Amino acid sequence: MIPFTPTPNLAHMRLFLFSSLLLCSSILIAQEAGYIIVQGQVVDQRTQNPLPYAHVGISARGIGTTTGYDGAFTLKVPAQYREERVQVSYIGYKTAEAGLGQLSRQPVIKLEPVPAMLQEVIVMDEQRVEDIIRRAVRQIPDNYPSRPTNATAFYRESKTDSKGDYIYLAEGVLQLYKESYQNKKEGQIGLLQGRKVALAPEEELRSNARFSSGHLAADRFDVVKNRADFLDERFFPAYTYRLDNVTAYEGRPVFVVGFDRTGDDPDGRMKGKIYIDTLSYAFIRAEFEIRPEAQGQYDDYPFYTGNWKANRYFVDYRMANGKWFLKDALREGVWQDGGVYTNEIVVTEVVPGRGKPVPYMERLGRDDRFLNITGAYDESFWASYNTAPLHNEKLSETVQQFRNQDKAREVFDTAYMALLQRAQDSVVVLTPQTPRGEPIIAYVPKENTWVTESAILGAHFSYGAGAHALPTSLHYYRLNYLSAGDLDQIIGTEGEVSAREGELLYQLALDVAFKDRYLLRWALSRDFGNSIYRESAIGLGLQYNLTKRVRPVYLRPIVQYSRLRYARFVGQADNDFGNFKADGKNFKANKVNMYYGEINRSVKFTLEAAVELNPSRELFVRGSYHLPFQQQAQLFLWERQRVFRKRVHLPVDEQVAAFRGTAPYNGTLTPNEGTFSLTIGLLLK
């Protein structure tokens, strides 16, 4: 890697652009590519302090953004809405409203605070406060969308190390498809545009960029749709609710309800506050954290638990067209090494009408890592898109979100990023021992960087059912197991084996895929109890995607080595001999089942076709041709009526006497020729 230091002219240009952005405190209205660009600042009317996380938008059109920690905002409004009025709202303040033209004459938007109204409310006991929550939960179907919706959102993800130094920063504009609030189905996410900068050496970046599904924040952190514990009536006994305050939002009084666990109840895993509109009983905000003792719980999707020291969340909703929609969400997690991992999302536009699913090939899955999928930098897109300065006033004690925005402004300066992109497709910024203001840039060839590739290795599990055309003919068998030396009979039986054309079976398989093209497969097949059918196969294969632009259809040719133990039941023998030993195992049961069969070694040629049902599942049809190269006749002994039953198989030799009809027989049960099998099932990614 060749180190590169920005030239003085470039550094001056970055400083100028960044300073211009910070100094722009007045409203700016510009026309660009069919959009009206509105920039300004929102402050407290009395103190003149900036108001971070205020909502600025056109509610009737579902268009909006939020202010940064300095109160600044950028709002893109389609030109056809130039006559609409813009609302500026903030919890605890009166809502301001003005036309786009009026904003040009108002340098700063000043919001008037609303005094707390708690003293005007009769003090409520715990049960009455809990009843507020119950009523708000019952009102969810009326207050939130009853059908799928589409939206556009800005997403930011970052990770710092234990010293607070940034490891990476990634941002993107997402296409959202949210399911109805009347069910708990997860929505769909597509990436419209993304950008990233790595701020650590590749080895450190690799070990710290293993977090996935943060880009699903619009679904993961939507506590109303997911019915988080504190909104689920099944868990109400685990929580204590209290009325902390009554404030205002958009001219409407709002309950502020605090909650914490009841005593030491382990089901009360969270604590925080819920904001509820007193008129509609809609949840408009939630701020909460996972209690330390609950962090160790694994598999707690959609929340983050496990190897985290702390996790806290802030979720807001806003009204558009008579319904409440997710407005923004923030999650901060302290990893076990002390580093902070953040996910921040702001919904910038809600599309009117019934939502349409994200095209299948554009959907992002749970296992996707946002840092790996942000794609190439598009200068024209980011030059005009609002990067949505994100902050919440409740986070002042950590200032992590302050730092995120400052760092984003530094590394995602439009002109600076465009220059880097023109110089090289892939950028990695090494952690320098120099001041933060002048990072050292190192270029890595695109074909060698791991960040832009899909996962090199992947494990897939599949299961299915099918049949193996394994013909056996009608014959009468007599089987004897003899003692060594004197060859006296220890146990024996006889019986008829009926004709059969094949066996019904089920199959389990584990694939290890390499670079989405090569795979190693280990598979086990078993019958449903009609005989003894035990196959184990291992081999290599290739994978081809036949439809890369639509729903994937895969073709997989695979070659495996197969070892099949197959036998048919002849009869149940009485063990009058007592304890005896076979293949080193002591048989003590009074009854022993005796089977005649074979061990069949073959080369197994498989051709598999699969269609992807969703990013985590495939439906497959698997056809195989078994070409035997070695067959050996076997006697199978299986104990009955014991807890730990002995099972052995023995070659037909001096100690095993087998007769088919009246003649001695040591041949195989099935013909020495190729056979076919077919399996249908699901593959889990």
Instruction: Please report where in the chains the tokens 């078993």 appear, as a residue.
Output: 526
User: Quick one: which of 579, 152, 171, 520 has its CA closest to 375?
Assistant: 171
Domain containing 496 — which CATH number? 2.40.160.20
Confidence of residue 26 (pLDDT cuts 50, 70, 90): very low
Q: What is the DSSP string of 78-120?
A: EGGGTTSEEEEE-TTBPPEEEEHHHHTT-SSEEEPB----GGG
Task: Indicate whether 497 and 442 sit together in one domain.
Answer: no
Task: Indicate whether 502 and 608 sit together in one domain.
Answer: yes
Residue 504 lies in a domain: yes
The distance of Cα 428 from the centroid of its chain, to the nearest Å, equals 26
User: Quick one: which of 486, 470, 476, 426 has its CA closest to 452?
Assistant: 426
Q: Is 400 left (phi over 0), alpha (psi -120 to 50) or beta?
A: alpha
Domain boundaries, position 659: 457-684
Task: Indicate whether 319 and 432 sit together in one domain.
Answer: yes
Q: Which of 208-217, 349-358, 569-578 has the highest mean pLDDT?
A: 569-578
Residue 130 lies in a domain: no
Task: Indicate whether 392 and 538 sit together in one domain.
Answer: no
Task: Indicate whether 398 and 335 sit together in one domain.
Answer: yes
Report the DSSP pairing between strands 109-111 and 35-44: parallel
User: Quick one: which of 215, 155, 177 has its CA closest to 346?
Assistant: 155
What pLDDT is recorded for position 510? 97
Task: Indicate whether 387 and 507 sit together in one domain.
Answer: no
Residue 270 lies in a domain: no
DSSP assigned state of 36: E
Rounded mean pLDDT, 389-403: 40
Task: Indicate whether 428 and 468 sit together in one domain.
Answer: no
Write out pLDDT tens, residues 189-222: 999 888 887 777 777 777 766 677 788 889 999 9
Distances (CA, A) of 595 to 224, 371, 528, 638: 60, 58, 16, 8
What pLDDT is recorded for position 124? 63
What pLDDT is recorded for position 12? 37
Whether 566 shows a pLDDT value over 50: the answer reads yes
Please give the Cα distance from 577 to 289 (Å, whole number): 70
Rounded mean pLDDT, 616-638: 95
What pLDDT is recorded for position 451? 37
Lowest-pLDDT range, 363-372, 465-474, 570-579, 600-609? 363-372
State percent of the chain over pLDDT 70: 79
Whether 368 shows a pLDDT value over 90: the answer reads no
CB count in 10 Å sphere of residue 386: 19
Report the DSSP pairing between strands 553-574 and 532-542: antiparallel
- Decide if 88 contacts 95 (C-beta within 8 A): yes
What is the torsional sign of CA 654, 656, 661, 667?
negative
What pLDDT is recorded for position 681? 97
Residue 434 lies in a domain: yes
DSSP assigned state of 500: B
Q: Which of 132-136, 161-165, 307-311, 621-625 has the highest mean pLDDT?
A: 621-625
Residue 7 lies in a domain: no
What pLDDT is recorded for position 658? 93
Burial profile 469-495: b = 16 or more Cβ within 10 angstroms, e = fewer: ebebeebebbbbbbeeeeeeebbbbee
Whether 265 shows a pLDDT value over 50: the answer reads yes
What is the torsional sign of CA 265, 271, 277, 282?
negative
Confidence of residue 444 (pLDDT cuts 50, 70, 90): very low
Residue 440 lies in a domain: yes
Ramachandran angles phi, psi of 408, nearest 5°: -65, -40
Lowest-pLDDT range, 118-122, 273-277, 668-672? 118-122
Query: Which of 420, 448, 476 finishes a domain?
Result: 448
Whether 362 shows a pLDDT value over 90: the answer reads no
Whether 383 shows a pLDDT value over 80: the answer reads no
Task: Indicate whether 435 and 461 sit together in one domain.
Answer: no
Please give the Cα distance from 601 to 46 (Å, whole number): 86
> Exposed (0-12), middle (13-18) or buried (19+): which is 353, by Cβ within 10 Å?
exposed
Please give the Cα distance from 357 to 337 (Å, whole number): 39
Task: Indicate whether 442 and 497 sit together in one domain.
Answer: no
Task: Indicate whether 512 and 601 sit together in one domain.
Answer: yes
CB count in 10 Å sphere of residue 34: 9
**Could you tell me the pTM of the whole model?**
0.61
Please give the Cα distance from 447 to 440 (Å, whole number): 21
What pLDDT is recorded for position 395? 31
Query: Which of 431, 448, 465 finishes a domain?
Result: 448
Q: What is the DSSP string of 404-416?
A: HHHHHHHHT-HHH
Task: Indicate whether 607 and 516 sit together in one domain.
Answer: yes
Residue 278 lies in a domain: no
Write out pLDDT tens, residues 484-532: 877 889 999 999 999 999 999 999 999 999 878 899 999 999 999 889 9
CA neighbours closer than 13 Å in the CB half-sphere of residue 444: 15
Confidence of residue 338 (pLDDT cuts 50, 70, 90): confident
Domains contained in the chain, number: 2
Give the relative orientation of helices 8-23 and 400-411 as an angle to the nearest 10 degrees: 130
Confidence of residue 429 (pLDDT cuts 50, 70, 90): very low
Rounded mean pLDDT, 439-451: 34
Please give the Cα distance from 342 to 315 (Å, whole number): 14
Rounded mean pLDDT, 447-457: 44
Write out pLDDT tens, residues 662-683: 899 999 999 999 999 999 999 9
Task: Indicate whether 547 and 646 sit together in one domain.
Answer: yes
What pLDDT is recorded for position 477? 96
Whether 657 shows a pLDDT value over 60: the answer reads yes
Query: Which of 401, 417, 448 finishes a domain?
Result: 448
Residue 212 lies in a domain: yes
Rounded mean pLDDT, 229-242: 93
